[in-house]
Chain A
Amino acid sequence: MQIVIQSTGNITEYSMIEFQGDLETKSEEALGGKIIGDLHFNHEGNPIMIIGHHILHGKVQDLDKPLVVITKENDGISEINVKYGVTAVIKRKFIFKTRPKPIVGEMIKKL
């Protein structure tokens, strides 16, 4: 069995946010369509993210080794010749390594 991976000819550059832990929704609903939070940048160019009642401080980091996004191409016919197209590449990420700090206050809107 062989899986072929090939560029689709149109590779876009994606971005990525990496942080510790998992995202959770209020009532275990699907994540689709949900607002995650806000992303800002300070004047040094470092990203700041606010998710729920947490604030995270991060850095912009070039990846040592780029990541490519591969998407299965469903020809629907066979499981023998499976093909994935390379659709995007990630060369940089916004990484949040520090522990999220809780935001305290009465008027926090839970997202």
Chain B
Amino acid sequence: MNNPSAEVKIKGKKMDRSLQQVNTILNLAKLTESDIKKDSHVLQFIPQILDSKQVKLLEVSKDTLEYINSGECLFIKGNEDAHVIICSNSNSFELKEAETSNSMLLMPSLLQGTLIEDTGSRTLKKQEVFGVYHTYYEMRLTRPKLQSLRNALAKYPYRGKNSEVIKEAVGQSFTELKVMIQASEEEIINQLQEMPAAKVRGKWRLLDVGFLFGWVSYLDSILREKKLSLEEVTLANIENWMGLYDTEDINAKCISLFMEVDGNSLRWKPEAVSQLFALYLLPELRAFDSKDFFTAWQQSMPVGVMTNEEHLNGVALVDYDSNPSLVKYLPEFELPEEINERLDILFRNRAKWTLQSITPYVQPLTDNNLNVAALLTKYARSSTINGVKYYSSKY
């Protein structure tokens, strides 16, 4: 028979709790043993409870849990501003601390409890509690902050193999970029592929606009000399002709930036080339007489490539209200990443925008939660004039 006041030692710590005591309390609570199941548990904190500075709780989606179980890493990337980003290999999330007025007791599965007493009809187990928490961290899918990537790569722009002065390789290694940029590895790789950036001697750098302009113009001059159009030549021809101009890697990057390659048939990408030429011509004079600009612009283009005012979207604004009308240099990548700051600059440059013209400036700021139209609805004002919808400043 159990001695009601028996003390049972658990791992050297005295557990002065017995089934009789537990049952007494139960009865005082107006419950009887027949109201409850056989196993009762005494909850007890471990001697040294968990320190929330060392041990934290992170809420994850079921997909992320699977990702973690497969051994993959999550990366928390802080920055000077308040935004803390946490990334998997492919996605970026905002990391937010959630506070609750509830207490959360952390403990192992109830099956882990150690037996204190067993009368046959009832058992009493000790259930360890590791600690108490009031906060946990949440992950919210977000758009990665990539402007810092361009800024990092622009520190040492590549101007061609013959312009390389410094002996050591300059630029950022991919490993450095992974730590520095608040984005996932996949998002960084995709961005590097899309942007005019290349790896030179193992380090990533931005390709200088002047260099790219020179590359395209040089190839165009060869084609003109040979009286050939791009459609009539092969990749091998280009690699051959440009082989002396720059390295294989750089040439390959330029081809991918400015040409459509379909098997062995090649075409210039009109938008990419037009934008490049506009980016080259405009910065000299921030605002260009638009007639002069459009003429110079078209004249400088490779044979067969037609400019289109729409190609200026995201690069420059045509202001028809001024006299003479002007083309103003306003590249997307120079604008702030914060939505209100960006819209402020856009609306100061032009009061009313159509969706089509503002999209390239707003698109990079979208994420899973808000697309361009939703962002504009939230942060700008819309009006309809002659059946056309325009966006303007909210203020």
Contact = CB atoms under 8 A, between A and B. Distances in A.
Given A69-B55, A69-B57, A107 B24 contact: yes
A90 B47 CA distance: 22
Contact of A38 (B35, B42, B61): B42
A23 interface: yes
Interface residues of A, number: 59
A93 B48 CA distance: 23
Nearest to A91: B65
Contact of A34 (B45, B59, B108): B45
Interface string B46-71: 11110001111111111001001101
A31 B56 CA distance: 18
B45 A4 contact: no
A103 B28 contact: yes
Interface stretch (B73-81, B142-150, B161-169, B312-320): B73-81
Contacts of A50: 25-26, 29
Contact of A6 (B49, B74, B77): B74
A67 B57 contact: yes
A84 B56 contact: yes
A39 B106 contact: no
Contact of B132 (A1, A23, A49, A65): A23
A22 interface: yes
A67 B59 contact: yes
The 6 closest A-B pairs by CB, nearest first: A3-B76, A36-B43, A105-B28, A17-B105, A5-B74, A39-B41
Interface of A: 1-7, 9, 11-23, 30-43, 48-50, 55, 65-72, 74, 84, 86, 89-90, 93, 103-105, 107-109
Given A4-B76, A18-B105, A35-B45, 7 more contacts: A7-B68, A7-B69, A16-B106, A21-B103, A38-B26, A50-B26, A72-B54
